[in-house]
Chains A and B, each alone.
Chain A
Amino acid sequence: MASKLISIGKASKLLGVSIDTLRRWDKTHRLPPVRNGSKGHRYYRQIDVDIFLRDIVALAKQWVSAETGITPELDVYCQTRDVFQARLEKLQSNLQRATLSSATSLLSAIAGEIGNNSFDHNLGNWPDITGIYFSYDLDNRVIVLADRGQGILATLKRVRSTLTNDTEALRVAFTEILSGRLPEARGNGLKFVRDVVVENPFTLDFETGTAHLLLKENDKKINITPSDKHVRGCFAIIRFGNLI
């Protein structure tokens, strides 16, 4: 029965997080339990846990902002670029059945740029978990990519030492052609992502450290606000709601 109650221990196992994390999520209203019994123990409705497990954005955000890195489930984990390439081609094939061919091509291209950017900038320097988290839910028209790499500030600071915070670094990454791998001629990947998003009915949430960029169709300016949670490396959500 979908509405049955389960213990905090069972919910913790199903969600793959600690009981302390569930207590924290209770305080922040991220996943509220039901208080039951005279001592007010936490119980969880099975349906709430099921919905949370299907919420790929919440799961990826949890992974990328956790203090300790944990290897993700195999179905969302691309440890190497080859695995990412194969899964990107699978996404492309699934998108072809669900959306316009131009959207398939562009969504695959921007997901490919963001994912490969993570590998390009962290090769040999991953702080804990090697590779990226990549998942998508075509029913909800969302693609999620995350890495627990060094983040944009650390990458760009090597070539522009005057950068002092995540907001400045994120702005530079999306507006200037500046390569974190000088003297190689690079640095246009996220500008390409920006151009594609603002010219199409897509939205992009991109977070690094404490900065959060939200970009949507026809945006002329870059809008960066503080992130609700510290992101270890980079976290991107691509939505494409209006196409299907």
Chain B
Amino acid sequence: MIIDVSKFGTTLVSRPSGKEAWLAFQPTLNNVQENEEVTVDFSNVAVLTPSWADEFLTPLRSRFPGKVRLTNTDNASIKATLNTLAKQ
């Protein structure tokens, strides 16, 4: 499965919006097959913060351990956010 993160918005900064994205996406995630890779595509995302990512990426990685792959993470705030999450 490929998750197009920009479909949740391009300025992803708050916890409530990250949590809402996670909850709203549950029915779609239920279709992920066993052993299927989950690709998170950050194309067109302009701003990402740890607050949003912590509510979406962190639970996604917990639900699909070892199967989540991130792509198009060149944006400066996405890189900085992923560095912060990696320190947790």
Contacts and interface: CB of A to CB of B under 8 A. Distances in A.
Q: Do A and B come from one complex?
A: yes
Interface of A: 81, 85, 88-89, 92, 101-106, 108-109, 112-113, 116-117, 119-120, 177, 185-186, 188-189, 191-192, 195-196, 199
B88 A113 contact: no
Contact of B46 (A81, A105, A120, A185): A105
B51 to A, nearest CB: 6
B11 A186 contact: no
Interface residues of B, number: 25
Contact of A108 (B16, B17, B46, B85): B46
Main secondary structure on A side of the interface with B: helix
B51 A116 contact: yes
B51 A185 contact: no
15 contacts: A81-B14, A85-B14, A88-B11, A102-B75, A108-B46, A109-B48, A112-B47, A113-B50, A177-B87, A185-B54, A185-B58, A185-B88, A186-B15, A195-B80, A196-B80
B86 to A, nearest CB: 11
Main secondary structure on B side of the interface with A: helix
A108 B10 CA distance: 12
A188 B75 contact: no
Among B11, B75, B81, B87, the one with the most A-chain Cβ atoms within 10 Å of its Cβ is B11
B16 A109 contact: no
Interface string B54-88: 10001000000000000000011110110111011
Interface in B1-27: 11, 13-17
